[in-house]
Amino acid sequence: MKFEHDDIESIVVELHIGNKKWCVISIYRNEDVSAKTFLDILSKTLDQILDIYEHVIIIGDININSIEKSNSKFKHLANFCDLHDLSNLMKEQPTCFQSESPTSIDIILTNKPRSFMHTKSVVNGLSDHHSLIMPLFKAQISRLNPIHIIYKNFKDFDDEAFNLELDHSLKQIDFDQDSNDYNKFLSVFQSTAQRHAPTKSKVLRGNDAPFMTSALRREIKQRSRLRNIARKENTPASKIAFCSQRNVQN
């Protein structure tokens, strides 16, 4: 069944966590669409979804500042939450820093608030003004087993020295042109290779990401440092330095 509505920006997906099935609704309200119209359309969609799903979460940028509770837009949002028994997990955390006074225009609404431990707003540098919002589920997820890797260390490998020793060692063997000749060669080759390129092992985390190198970690750390400076000093030079570093890393 298609739940997305043509008049509002939304993506609806089904998410399985443990033995529970969640309906995740990602939304964005353009300022051209009034808050009341947007929420009325979303309400009709949500009625259909709640007939099928017991666990629902709505997440996205709704352009309604939850900090200004006297605003008429917020009152529409509050009525929408009351109607569907939804809780906003963001709890007035600032999520947008476009103006001097941070606003909380991103929401995480759910009808199962006790299924979550914490909700965070994290500045990750992907946007100049918006932070990344994320809820933390109360879920038991099996930890991935560590990955054991065995490899050859070619750090000090010398082609010429290896070839010379291998050639010398092979000349010391009497090959009888029988079925055992291959085993003789294999034994000499492996022992010579072990001396020049020793076998080593290492253990990686089960969720290790090959792209997360030490160089990338340094770039991320530098980006975070420049972001903090830009927010503290709020000068053109500090903002340019942060944006340049962010673009390099991204």
Tell me the two tokens of residue 201.
């092992």
State the residue for tokens 């995740």: 24
Q: Where are the alpha helices (DSSP H) in the chain?
A: 35-50, 72-84, 159-171, 181-196, 214-233, 236-249
Tell me the two tokens of residue 53.
């799903």
| 146 vs 204: CA distance, rounded Å | 6
Would the pLDDT of 238 be above 70?
A: yes
Would the pLDDT of 117 be above 90?
A: no
Q: What is the pLDDT of residue 122?
A: 77
| Direct distance between the N- and C-terminal alpha carbons of the chain, in angstroms, rounded to an integer | 36
Is the model more confident about 234 or about 151?
Answer: 151
Average pLDDT over residues 46-68: 90
SS3 percent helix, strand, coil of the chain, rounded to 5, is 40, 25, 40
Q: In this structure, are residues 32 and 70 in contact, taking their beta carbons and an 8 Å threshold?
A: no
Would the pLDDT of 2 be above 90?
A: no
Average pLDDT over residues 165-179: 82
Residue 241 has a CB neighbour count (10 Å cut-off) of: 18
Would the pLDDT of 249 be above 70?
A: no
Q: What is the pLDDT of residue 52?
A: 92
| 117 vs 115: CA distance, rounded Å | 7
What size, in residues, is the chain? 250
Identify the band that residue 184 occupies on the pLDDT scale cut at 50, 70 and 90.
confident
In sequence order, the 6+-apart residues with CB closer than 8 A to the CB of 216 are 249
Is the model more confident about 181 or about 16?
Answer: 16
* Alpha carbon 222 to its chain's center: 19
Q: Which helix (H) or strand (E) holds 201?
A: strand 199-204
Average pLDDT over residues 200-229: 85
